[in-house]
Structure 1
Amino acid sequence: MATIGIYAHHHGSGHIQRCREIQRELRALGHEATILSTAESADVVLADDAGHGHHGRAMTAGGTLHYAPYGNQGLRSRFATLAGWTADNAPDAFYVDVSVEVGVFLRLMGIPVVAHAMPGLRDDAPHQLAYTQADALIAAWPDWIETPEHLRGHEERLHAVGGISRLTPAPGIERDPHAVLVMAGKGGSTWEPEDWAAVEAACPEYTFTFLTGENRVDDPTELLQRAGVVVAAGGQNSIADIAVTNAPAILLPQPRPFIEQKLNAQVLRDAGLAVVPDGFPPAAEWPTLLAQAKALDPDWYRWQTDGAARRAAEVVAGVATGASSSKIALVTLADANRKAHLTHQVNLKPEGTDHITVALADADVLGKAVPKSHVVEAEPQLADARNLAAARSLAAARNLAARTAIERGAEIIVFLDADCVASSQLVPLYVRALEAHPDAVVAGPVTYMREGELRTVRPDPHPARPNPPVGELELAHDYNLFWSLSFAMTADTWARIERDFGGFDTGFTGYGGEDTDFAWQLQRHGIELYWVGGAHAFHQWHPVSSPPWEHLEDIVANANYFHAKWGSWPMEGWLDKFAEAGAISLIDGSWQAQTPTSQ
């Protein structure tokens, strides 16, 4: 049984009502869940932090948070209570609905956080911080709604569970086409009594019931089921209550931070689920509006309220019971020529990952340059090798890297070229992709940087490889596009690869062809390859020659070996350029060098 904390924001009643429904489902799943909130009905009541007396930078910590005023005793007390409860109960996860500050505070205490993703325009730095640090995000809207732009960078952790309502419709209640129910949330409204008096006067054939101000009921289910039209503001809970009771609706969104109700209403209007006028209409327009709402015949089943709270609870429980993450190793190959590039990779690697460098040469130099990496020396493959590069087989070195990673306890192996640095999302997105497809190999896009440039943001991927949207997986059909610069797999998949075809083929010596052969072996043995959107690597600049004359002998030997194995030629672009320059010729079905390798 997991112990789960739930934080409920106290403005309005929607947050704690939603939290109660999720709490109920968590308990039904066998977990203990406790709600902490400033709201008086919470299981643990927190101190109120209103009355700050500060503005600007002092309020927002320089724009990094939403609310962190100096000298606020209520703020100190509420966080002290949160910290005390967390220390005493050691929760396995915390669901935060909603607060940037609470989510970050709990995460700093080492607690996995599930954040509630709110609608509206929330591309500000504090919201992005809250969404980025969360292990999962719950959105209380249906899965067919297009992901808002501010959440697109977090789609791999976003769970659209449907509208969450606390209401249970009763059978046998018929709608009264002349009954209008007007509901305003506890968050306040701009509606004035005289406005509604004018509407009632303009609509004498209708009977109006108002659940506004202090005039409220504990359970509005019957009123919602009986109403011919419901008029509501546009909060998430009101929409879910309307949906679960299948009521015709007019939405009049109220001013709210981050324009959440306005954007909510626009989604429902565009889906044909509600009538949404522009502002509060003049009284004379209300007879027509009410007739439009009654004629709409909305398909509220699309709002996916059935089972929504259970789906949210399952997300929270999944984080609570699966918080221990896989051990991840990032592996690479290098020699002293790539020392500077390698130091960047190691010092920019994601925290919590093991790093292994297979030294093709210069192991002592690399060991001193990257003390945070476990450096192992590649064994020569050929006693009479043409040169050191050929002796230190890239194929054999990659096999050694994978074996070393597994020996050190890795469950996921990320192969990254020594010239590359990982973006902050490369490892998390690879991990998520392998959770979905543990028997596959996954690969991400690569951005080539200019000379003197070093970054891990603003990707501009090489156009030769797929670049799906962030968090999306694209099943590969052309395995020729496999790129050894950046790819990953589980340790179990590597073990299968070694059993099936031995890993990278050490018949390839030096440079070239071994990665294409590896990809073809994956396809031959039915191992799927997925392109992972957002798993960006950034390739550091270094001088290159095209074609790579310094590797001519290796490329020719490896091309002939590949052809003998598969009956077709790899690296054809390079071979054609070498041939056009008169450096090689195709003689008796194999390529042969015609000139010295120095060009």
Structure 2
Amino acid sequence: MADNFSEDPAKPIAFFAHHQGRGHANRIMAIAEHIPPSRPLIIMTAAPDQFAEIPRPAEMVELPNMIGAPSRSPQLHAQPAPDNLHCVPLGVAEIRDHMGRIAAALAKHDPALFVIDVSAEIALLARIMSVPAITIRMHGDRNDAGHRAAYQASTAMLAPFDERIEQQDYPEAFRTRTLYTGGLCTTRQALVPREEARRLLGIEEGRQVTLVIAGGGGSGTPYAPLTVAARAEPDTLWLVAGPVHREGHETDFGNLRELGWTDNLTHYICAADRVIASAGDNTVHEIARVGRPFLCIPEWRYFDEQHRKARELSATGSAVYRETWPASIPEWQEVLAQTDALDPAILASLHEPEAAQKAAAWLETKASALWGTN
């Protein structure tokens, strides 16, 4: 009977990419590379420039940036949001345009799947539009009505991490509909031995090196705690990659060096003896890919996303978790000793080199199964 309803197997796969940070776009590009060429790709995003290096053709649907756009009257702005929706102020033209362009693209292209990275509201829109949605999972306190509705509305969920760091409070009914790809790292730079990395970077071989990484989704690593760390270990070379947030009262130290944005972060991770970073998805898996003792100090994110992930990393012995930056020399010395005592092989085991391929193959299988083409 299903054969009577089968559709063209070349129906496109559509993606929605949230524009905050770089991780959503990089993850979609990594997966898209392995989707069969016969599947057209549609990408909807408010940051199409992030897809400049996409490895295969895709039709871009540019969306307006609706973040912070005002309602057109105080009375509309004052209307309460329903429990099952998060960000739905009334009278915002940019939101109407944003969601309208998504709805128009879904109606025009009739995709086999709509992969959403990430938005609970757009998952609900997909269901209302009668389009099968795949929600990409992130950690966090997401047992609220809005997230549960989005998971229920989705055909399945895709978790770009190892099931060992899944949260215990994620309902079993949703877990059975989730593909765990293993740790998906979008970084491609080749790994090199520690000694070679140090030679390439001009770092003396015998020196202790700590690398601090700030991702692209926040305001930067706070510089003041790092000045205390530099005093706690004056013989260690402290390297800080990414943006740094200064308050104006910090004292610089000769063993504390800012790198800014760097195109060869992998070499710096390879050169390091330990790494300190937040719990951003790709950042965690970049460190796991190399395998270094990891001190995880999460940044604030909605739904406590990074703290929940950091707790799971700590529970598996993959990282040392600190809620806040150490504020004194003894605190730094204690937490660094704990970090050095980790077995980096545990963290390394969370990285899956074939995660993007697994995700793409699963999407293709899911699309074929749903549309009766297999």
Pick the TM interval, shorter chain.
Answer: 0.7 to 0.9
- Residue of structure 1 aligned with 2:339, choices 287, 293, 298: 293
Deviation at 1:265, TM superposition (A): 1.0
Aligned to 2:89: 69
Query: Which sits farther off after the overlay, 176-185 or 3-12?
Result: 176-185
What secondary structure is seen at the aligned counterpart in 2 of 1:150? coil
Cα drift, residue 32 of structure 1: 2.7
> What are the Cα deviations for residues 69-101 of structure 1, in whole angstroms up to 9, with x where unaligned?
112121122222222322332211111010011
| Alignment map for 1:105-504 (pairs within 5 Å) | 105-168=125-188, 170-174=190-194, 178-188=208-218, 191-213=221-243, 215-284=260-329, 285-299=331-345, 300-324=347-371
- The one-letter amino acid paired with 2:316 is A
Contact 1:182–1:231 (CA<8 Å) still a contact in 2? yes
Task: Work out the CA distance in 1 between the residues paired with 2:67 and 2:166.
Answer: 35
**Other-structure match for 2:252:** none
On the 8 A contact 1:2/1:321 being kept in 2, the answer is no
Contact 2:185 2:351 in 1 (8 A): no
Partner Cα separation in structure 2 for residue 193 and residue 171 of structure 1: 28
1:10 is aligned to 19
Deviation at 1:277, TM superposition (A): 2.8
Per the TM alignment, residue 258 of structure 1 is displaced from its structure 2 partner at its CA by: 1.3
Q: Secondary structure of 2:152's partner?
A: helix
In 1, Cα distance between the equivalents of 2:116 and 2:78? 24
The residue type paired with residue 371 of structure 2 is S
Distance (whole Å) between structure 2 residues aligned to residue 59 and residue 304 of structure 1: 45
Please list the CA deviations of residues 189-223 of structure 1 after superposition, one character each: whole Å capped at 9, or x if unmatched.
Answer: 57432222222232211112212327212442111
Task: Determine if contact 2:220/2:242 at 8 Å carries over to the other structure.
Answer: no
**Contact conserved, 1:57 with 1:63, CA < 8 A, in 2?**
no
Give aligned pairs, total.
326
When residues 137 and 60 of structure 1 are mapped into structure 2, their CA distance, relative to the original with a 3 A threshold, is farther
Answer 1 or 2: higher relative contact order, Cα 8 Å, separation at least 6.
Answer: 2
Structure 1 residues 240 and 218, CA, compared in 2 at 3 Å: closer, same or farther?
same
Confirm or deny that 1:82 pairs with 2:112. no
Secondary structure, aligned partner of 1:101: helix
Match of 2:4 in 1: none
Counterpart of 1:162, as a letter, is G
Q: Residue 305 of structure 1: CA displacement? A: 2.0
Q: 1:22 and 1:59 mapped to 2: Cα distance?
A: 39
- Letter of the structure 2 residue corresponding to residue 286 of structure 1: W
Q: Aligned partners of 1:137, 1:35: CA distance in 2, in Å?
A: 18
AA of the residue aligned to 2:343: D
SS at match of 2:314: helix
Q: Which has the larger radius of gyration?
A: 1
One-letter identity of the residue aligned with 2:134: V
Shift of 1:120: 1.3
**Which residue pairs with 1:438 in the alignment?**
none
Assess, with a 3 A threshold, how the Cα gap between structure 1 residues 151 and 325 changes in structure 2: closer, same or farther: farther
Shift of 1:122: 0.6
2:276 and 2:221 mapped to 1: Cα distance?
Answer: 12
Q: TM-score under structure 1 normalisation?
A: 0.51
**Change in 2 beyond 3 A, CA 1:167/1:271:** same
Distance 1:253 1:82, change over 3 A: same
Q: What percent of counterpart residues are identical? A: 28
Structure 1 residues 313 and 232: alpha-carbon distance in aligned structure 2, compared to 1, 3 A threshold: same
Q: Counterpart of 2:39? A: 31
Cα drift, residue 27 of structure 1:
4.4
Question: Shift of the alpha carbon at 1:325?
Answer: 6.4
The answer to whether the Cα contact below 8 Å between 2:184 and 2:356 also exists between their aligned partners in 1 is yes
- Segments of structure 1 that go 5 or more residues without pairing to the other structure are 327-434, 436-599
- Residue type matched to 1:106 in 2? A
Q: How does 1:514-533 map to 2 (within 5 A)?
A: none
How many angstroms apart in 1 are the aligned matches of 2:133 and 2:39?
Answer: 16
- For each residue in 1:263-314, what CA deviation from the matched residue of structure 2 results, as whole angstroms up to 9, or x when unmatched? 1111111211112234211241324433432332222342142211112222
Taking the aligned partners of 1:100 and 1:57, their CA distance within structure 2 comes to 21
Residue equivalent to 1:376: none
- Structure 2, unaligned runs of 5 or more: 1-9, 52-59, 196-204, 245-259
**One-letter code of the match for 1:9?**
H
- Distance, in Å, in 1 between the alignment partners of 2:29 and 2:349 is 23
Tell me the distance in 1 between the aligned counterparts of 2:138 and 2:22: 15
